[in-house]
Structure 1
């Protein structure tokens, strides 16, 4: 079994040109300057730890922790690195494979909770985010947005190009797409880097456009890589999970749950977490960290650092117990940038009176062998028409089905 475990000690200690030199004494107190003419000092220790891939055997699947009355089975398997999921009104399941550039259709013909048929229905380089709106499939790649009519047998009509000019992807090419209660198209565009000043103002944002791709504008900014987002079924408020900055230590940056409001700035790259200052990059011009913090919208909740939230879906099915209705589920793909792994599980985001109150473990983890191995890095998540949850995996190429039996 191959395992990567590398400790990397990283120190950030930079003085201004006026002061000269760099501070590197471990016993000095961390300092964050008011401006670029004052010294910055902080110390960070980082790790690389990637659990080895092991088979998604029935034995491993059966060991998954889950609430009483729930079952987990393989809806589909047999190759691919599945990312985002969507389900049509007739129960046809679709999954993207970014690496292969494909969109695959799955059908459970005999309704036994397992796919009987699979077929590639579209091909496009870097195919990632998908959503269905008015019986039309919308797809987003690193630079393009496309649409296609859904035929009666689940296949797609010809691809129509709606956009070709999304900004360069860089480090985060995981574009996702959804339609809001307002009937408009929302596209999440990640940053090109871990933490930097972007040259394209659309990077690290959520943009909004008409269904035909016209009138694209920035809706919210300062979002490093918000892959999973959605609207609460009752309040219609928009919520999203943003990925934290890497190389800030095991416990930073925590993953953020944000209420996404039009025109809001969520701080990246200068402000992170519950209002902390990023030590390597000062706000532009004469703006101080404190001034930037004052105009930053902070998260409502945070989750364990480096867990890597991918898909997020609000539960509106009819088969889970009533207390799960209108809660959200988040697929935590799992860490690589901390000593002890985090994520590798599905978590429930509980809401009360339309507001989030806490994260709870739901299904997982997909770690085995004393956390040295993993059999799934879960990505997309959606609600099937039968009320079950479907969760994709881009490690062993499995789509899992989580159902409630009541027993």
Structure 2
């Protein structure tokens, strides 16, 4: 009996594997490298535009992007797809200030630096009329080298809500130090660690003109106005350093897992508890912070509000969007998308996040468990260092056709996610 020609078999197998690999690579290219639920597709509509933070889409589907660092002296980009090839180019840039916050409402484009908020008048096509002369509506906000960015949103009564992050991890006497106690009364909370409310149409407002709307929020980068509940929702960045500051109370693994990143519904006068407590998503309890006498088990004062959803720790939620479009399937209507920028401090465990998650809502409340909606931004399966991540999702916006836009502030990409009806 003639022996099989194993070289031919090996060659055929190699060709088959190459064809599968080519197909996989082709699918990855077509979906911008992302893994999505069935029926969805993604495209990279712009690349290498700078450190793209939050994003706003006008009525014609044109794109405004805020930059964390100036590019050619400008901090806001306006992108259009004039030739309709699916790729957006920078039409012009404007604003000599960098930052994160941007929002379109009632004929104005709102944009924030780390200390101020501006608004630009829009024409009927929602293009900026006079990019060199914005109106300064808020000034003099605290910015002290930690949690400086000022995210913002505008409600339906011309009020602007601005996050002012705490310039501390947990209000210790000596920040991020071994067993340093918490400062009595946490003086940081008088001007930071919360949400402030201002008028959208009044110039040169400061703390004296604003309303201290909510407190006890360490840092909020993602926030949105939920029209179904007519209320503000925010995603808080939970605290760090449980093990490194309190090694007698917390193991490295506990510190990697805790505390939760929390979605809160915020109403006037609410207190989310920072720095006096954190939410433990494993015990499902509000826990007294070790800086204020906690031991990982003692429960916090009941006066602090409960989260709407508690996610695993240290995933850095940077974008929040309640979906109101009609393109996506019904389950997504009025649900919350969250862009998790990705952790840096979950060692010895791998880093986590680097994806867009989704929470279904019904009647203004979560109606099911949260799920990963879009992943693959990082480009690698296991992430031990943020430097390994090729892209990190940051901002979210909804296009007029119901598509979902996602920014990346590593290589400056903008993704457009669509449902193929």
TM-score clears 0.5: yes
- The match for 1:108 is 81
Written as runs of structure 1 = structure 2, the 5 A alignment for 1:5-404 is 59=29, 62-100=32-70, 102-124=75-97, 126-151=98-123, 154-157=127-130, 158-196=133-171, 197-199=186-188, 201-211=190-200, 212-213=202-203, 214=205, 215-248=209-242, 249-273=255-279, 274-281=285-292, 293-338=301-346, 339-357=349-367, 358-372=369-383, 373-404=388-419
Contact preservation (8 Å) 2:32, 2:44: no
Contact preservation (8 Å) 1:188, 1:207: yes
User: Aligned to 1:98, what secondary structure does the other structure show?
Assistant: strand
> Mean Cα displacement is larger for which, 189-198 or 306-315?
189-198
Distance 1:153 1:345, change over 3 A: closer
Q: How far has the Cα of 1:245 moved from its partner? A: 0.4
Distance 1:199 1:80, change over 3 A: same
Q: How far has the Cα of 1:111 moved from its partner? A: 4.2
Structure in which a larger fraction of residues adopt strand: 1
Aligned equivalents of 2:217, 2:336: Cα separation in 1: 20
Aligned equivalents of 1:63, 1:399: Cα separation in 2: 13
Aligned equivalents of 1:294, 1:153: Cα separation in 2: 45
Q: Once the two structures are superposed, what CA deviation does each residue of 1:302-352 show, in whole Å capped at 9, x if it has no partner?
A: 111111001111111221112211111110000101021111000111112
Q: Which runs of 5+ in 1 are unaligned?
A: 1-56, 284-288
- Structure 1 length-normalised TM: 0.79
Contact preservation (8 Å) 2:398, 2:405: yes
> Mean Cα displacement is larger for which, 256-265 or 229-238?
229-238
Contact preservation (8 Å) 2:107, 2:126: no
Contact preservation (8 Å) 2:360, 2:366: yes
Q: Once the two structures are superposed, what CA deviation does each residue of 1:206-225 show, in whole Å capped at 9, x if it has no partner?
A: 11111125431110000011
Q: Once the two structures are superposed, what CA deviation does each residue of 1:346-392 show, in whole Å capped at 9, x if it has no partner?
A: 01111122202421110003234441432211111000112111100
CA RMSD, 1 decimal: 2.2
User: Aligned to 2:331, what secondary structure does the other structure show?
Assistant: helix
User: Aligned to 2:301, what secondary structure does the other structure show?
Assistant: helix
Matched pairs, number: 343
Distance 1:156 1:377, change over 3 A: farther
Q: Which runs of 5+ in 2 are unaligned?
A: 1-26, 172-185, 243-254, 280-284
Aligned equivalents of 1:137, 1:113: Cα separation in 2: 24
Aligned equivalents of 1:394, 1:80: Cα separation in 2: 7
Distance 1:156 1:174, change over 3 A: farther
Aligned equivalents of 2:150, 2:168: Cα separation in 1: 15
Aligned equivalents of 1:199, 1:230: Cα separation in 2: 24
Structure of higher RCO (CA pairs closer than 8 Å, 6+ residues apart): 1
Contact preservation (8 Å) 1:121, 1:156: no
Contact preservation (8 Å) 1:142, 1:169: no
Q: Once the two structures are superposed, what CA deviation does each residue of 1:16-43 show, in whole Å capped at 9, x if it has no partner?
A: xxxxxxxxxxxxxxxxxxxxxxxxxxxx
- The match for 1:33 is none
Larger of the two Rg values belongs to structure:
2
Distance 1:153 1:261, change over 3 A: closer
Structure in which a larger fraction of residues adopt helix: 2
Aligned equivalents of 2:370, 2:91: Cα separation in 1: 34
Aligned equivalents of 1:349, 1:116: Cα separation in 2: 32
- The match for 2:175 is none
Q: How far has the Cα of 1:170 moved from its partner? A: 3.0
Q: Once the two structures are superposed, what CA deviation does each residue of 1:193-246 show, in whole Å capped at 9, x if it has no partner?
A: 111134451201111111125431110000011111222232213221111001
